Amino acid sequence: MKDWTQKQQRLQRDNIPTRLGNLAANLARIKSFLDDPAHGDLVVSLVEESKFFIEWTAQSMDIDQAAELVDLQRLLSRWQRHWSQICTDTEARTQVTLVAKQASEHVLSMSGLLSEAATQ
């Protein structure tokens, strides 16, 4: 079992857009690593870390955005719970890949980082 305290302290030093950017990056990594079933342990680790990122971030956000993140956290928990089935089923992995990509794009949009980059 990992000690998440240091990771939490580092993450909470970042502003909300950066935290959401980190979450979006994790979701994009999940999408990428799902292409190869040999990366299953890495995907499980990223899912777990993403759930913690949400827990540590949602409490600092407005209620509507926090609710969206909590819904995403529940989805990640379902993936975790059914991982043994997902990793052996090509169709299920493809579906999770699509949802992870969409979630990554949505969280990145929520972060506002793309609009900040466009104005610089």
Confidence at residue 7, expressed as pLDDT on a 0 to 100 scale: 82
Confidence at residue 70, expressed as pLDDT on a 0 to 100 scale: 97
Does some domain include residue 106? yes
Contacts 24+ apart (CB under 8 A), 34-37: 34/93, 34/96, 34/97, 34/100, 35/97, 37/87, 37/88, 37/93
pTM comes to: 0.89
Does some domain include residue 62? yes
For residue 70, the surrounding DSSP H or E stretch is: helix 63-81
Candidate from 12-16, 36-40, 58-62, 75-79 with smallest mean pLDDT: 36-40
Does some domain include residue 91? yes
Does some domain include residue 50? yes
Domain count, the chain: 1
Does some domain include residue 100? yes
Structure confidence at residue 119 as a pLDDT band (50, 70, 90): low
Does some domain include residue 1? no
Hey, how many other C-beta atoms are within 10 angstroms of the C-beta on 29? 19
Span between the terminal Cα atoms of the chain, in Å:
42
**Could you report the per-residue pLDDT of 31-59, keeping only the tens digit for each?**
999 988 789 899 999 999 999 999 999 99
Does some domain include residue 2? no
114 Cβ contact list (under 8 Å, min separation 6): 108
User: Domain limits at 35?
Assistant: 17-110
Does some domain include residue 11? no
